[in-house]
Amino acid sequence: MNIAEFFHMDGYALYVWGAYGVTLVVLSLNVILARQQQRKALRAILRAAQRNRSLV
């Protein structure tokens, strides 16, 4: 088996590599969106803490 046969995967390469691609996209989006939500939550907490300090 050479490298070309490996990447061709007996005609199933489109399905196999497509599945890997979709998985990579979904996992990447999961990480990116989780980081965005974390930053958003931290900003909200900091704003709330600053409001509470100004009230005291």
What one-character-per-residue DSSP string does 18-46 give?
HHHHHHHHHHHHHHHHHHHHHHHHHHHHH
Handedness of CA 27, 28, 33, 36 (dihedral sign): positive
Contact 16, 9 (CB under 8 A): yes
Cα–Cα dist 21/19, whole Å: 5
Cα–Cα dist 22/20, whole Å: 6
pLDDT tens column, 7-36:
888 889 999 999 999 999 999 999 999 999
Interval 35-54 mean pLDDT: 95
